[in-house]
Amino acid sequence: MSRTAVMEERRANLSLRGLHKRYGSLHVLDGIHLDVGHQEIITVLGPSGCGKTTLLRIVNGLIPYDEGEVVFRSERVAAPRPEMAMVFQHFGLFPWKRLYQNIGYGLRIQGRPPEEIDRLVRRYIGLVGLDGFENHYPSELSGGMQQRAGLARALATQAAVLLLDEPFGAVDALTRELLQEELLRIIDVEPKSMIFITHSIDEALLVGDRVVVMSPRPGRIRFELETGFGRGREIEAIRASDRFQAMRHYLWEALRHPDSDPGPVPDGVSLRMEVKP
Amino acid sequence: MTTETKPLAEAKEQKAAPMLASLREPRVYVRAVSLFGVLGAWEALGWTGIIKPSTFSYPSVIASAFLSLLFSGEMMKAAYQSSQILGAGLAIAIPLGIALGMFMGRSRTFEYAVDTFVYALYATPVVALAFPIAMVLGVDFAGKTTIVVFFAIMPVIINVYHGVRNVDPMLLEVTRSFCSSEWQRWRDLIFPSIVPYLVAGLGMASGRALVGMVVAEFLMSISGLGALSQDYIGNLEMDKGLAPVVFLMIVGILLTKLVDFFESRFASWRARNER
């Protein structure tokens, strides 16, 4: 790939510029700047109540913000748009729709022709490993399977940006690891820009190209780490690497001491401190 | 994947339970013993002469009065008259109640505009309105139907309203996130969410409609099952006076079963797991 093509690839297609959000006197987000490159995966890590979910809902256009702007492909985001799709922590499947209808939901809302819906739904049911469960209701499926369906529903819309709100936060630990592997495999097949909110340091490192660490409320971006694991990731190989361990330790210390400087970064890891406008 | 299929296997097992198994359940016998015990005791009180035919009656006599009214055609004629005001009343109350409940649930402005009236009417004993209604609409079909409507509409409005209000806010956000239009939101989320509430409301509405019907027939022009009962009781023919009451009881049970059937048709996704 030529240098210019790489530059083109990395060009931001989603930018958050100086985002502020207040609920009455509560200052939730305090000047968030973030550029999400084409097919780049950003994981957002931070303590509970730091505004991560609020941030994601703002990016999706679900709630208004007070200052700054969200820009997607040079347009200001003020309402949900079909180029972005959300994966919800509690799956958000319709209990009265069978799996097939749930996965096709976004496509149906967009008014795609039935043949196209059928083709895409079948493809993504296969991709997330839910073949044979088309006619089941969500309550007949385990949490892990429901979230696979939530993921398939978002992917099926062919959105350019995927927003994931602690997607694996409501499943058990084993299922969580399986889903992480699954997600990495899907990303290799279908690269997307993603903002992935998580509480888990491991998950942030395993999934993300860039880990953004937020401060406690009012939420600010403290610093960002480039994970540098590239595509075609093998979870076990990454876990075993010194680089992973060093970054994990660094992030852990940073999260334990939210008010102090995280100190010097491990060798070979690039760090970006928050850039104030 | 194999670890994840467990709940599914359990669901299948439950579904496979044969219908005949219900005969082995103790509740069937407990109910039968209770029912026949009470009827038997009542019957015995009649035979020993403690219940006098001029003040009250007992099962075997009511049953024969029931059959004689049925075969003479009196019962069916009265039932036909009654069914007209019951049917017309429900035909107005149900759609109107659903519409009012939905708009109240979805539009704050509409809610504030009408909720005073709705709750005031809810708190009012509708029987007390029978005479004003008769003055305005007359004592015939229009007046009686209106009484039925007033009785039946309340649970429909209130339940549908609560159904709309209790739509899962998270699913509401899902519909917004996927850029759903308002109409699509009703189709995919709000209508399916209110079905269980609506069914409960319809169950109550059908019971109250029967009460309203009898009240109308007692208080307004003489017609139908209510009047039939009242006529015979007035003549101290208690057995024939109670037979229409038994008939109404059977109709009430059938209406409830009809509502249950409606529910199982439209909420199959719940029936699978929660029964």
B260 within 8 A of B186, measured Cβ to Cβ: no
B269: which chain A residues are within 8 Å (Cβ-Cβ)? 95-97, 137, 139
B173: which chain A residues are within 8 Å (Cβ-Cβ)? 57, 62, 88, 92
Average pLDDT, chain A: 86
Q: How much is the pTM?
A: 0.78
A141 lies within 8 A of chain B by CB: yes
Q: Is B171 in Cβ contact with A90 (below 8 Å)?
A: no
Closest chain A C-alpha to B269 CA, distance in angstroms: 5
| CATH number of the domain enclosing A37 | 3.40.50.300
Closest chain A C-alpha to B272 CA, distance in angstroms: 9
Q: Is the pLDDT of residue A209 over 50?
A: yes
Average pLDDT, chain B: 84
CA–CA distance, A60 with A74 (Å, rounded to integer): 15
Closest CA to A119 of A107, A132, A109, A129: A107
B257 lies within 8 A of chain A by CB: no
Q: Is B177 in Cβ contact with A109 (below 8 Å)?
A: no
A167 lies within 8 A of chain B by CB: no
Closest chain A C-alpha to B243 CA, distance in angstroms: 44
Taking CA–CA distances from A97, the nearest residue in chain B reads B269
Q: Is A80 in Cβ contact with B272 (below 8 Å)?
A: no
Write the residue in A60, A85, A96 that is nearest to B192 by C-beta: A96
> β-strand A210-214 against A67-72: which pairing, if any?
unpaired
Write the residue in B4, B177, B192 that is nearest to A86 by C-beta: B177
Residue-level pLDDT at A148: 92
Q: Is A157 in Cβ contact with B272 (below 8 Å)?
A: no
Q: What integer is the mean pLDDT of A120-137?
A: 92
Residue-level pLDDT at A161: 92
Question: Which pair of structure tokens corresponds to residue A73?
Answer: 């492909």
Closest chain A C-alpha to B196 CA, distance in angstroms: 12
CB proximity under 8 Å: B 18-77 to A: none
A175 lies within 8 A of chain B by CB: yes
* Domain B62-274 CATH class label: mainly alpha
Residue A177 lies in a domain: no
A141: which chain B residues are within 8 Å (Cβ-Cβ)? 4, 7-8
Residue A108 lies in a domain: no
Number of A to B CB contacts under 8 A, please give it.
Answer: 75
The boundaries of the domain holding residue A225 are 3-83+200-273
Q: What integer is the mean pLDDT of B32-50?
A: 88
- DSSP class of residue B246 equals H
Residue A205 lies in a domain: yes
Residue A13 lies in a domain: yes
Write the residue in B11, B173, B272 that is nearest to A62 by C-beta: B173
Across chain A, which distance is largest between two alpha carbons, in Å?
56
For B95-134, write each residue's pLDDT tens digit: 999 999 999 988 889 999 988 988 888 888 888 888 888 8
How many structural domains comprise chain A? 1
Taking CA–CA distances from A128, the nearest residue in chain B reads B1
Closest CA to A37 of A158, A192, A163: A192
CB proximity under 8 Å: B 174-193 to A: 174-181, 184, 188-189, 192
Q: Is B178 in Cβ contact with A109 (below 8 Å)?
A: yes
Closest CA to B69 of B235, B240, B214: B240
Q: Is the pLDDT of residue A133 over 90?
A: yes
Write the residue in A81, A142, A157 that is nearest to B7 by C-beta: A142
Write the residue in A85, A95, A142 that is nearest to B4 by C-beta: A142
Q: Is A139 in Cβ contact with B272 (below 8 Å)?
A: yes
Start-end of CATH 1.10.3720.10 domains in chain B: 62-274
CA–CA distance, B5 with A175 (Å, rounded to integer): 12
Residue-level pLDDT at A272: 66
For B213-259, write each residue's pLDDT tens digit: 998 988 887 788 888 888 888 888 888 888 999 999 999 899 888 88
How far from B88 is each of B83, B100, B147, B213, CA to CA, in Å?
A: 8, 18, 11, 11
Q: What integer is the mean pLDDT of A115-133?
A: 93
Question: Which pair of structure tokens corresponds to residue B180?
Answer: 């759903």
B188: which chain A residues are within 8 Å (Cβ-Cβ)? 94, 97, 105, 109
For B263-273, write each residue's pLDDT tens digit: 777 766 665 54
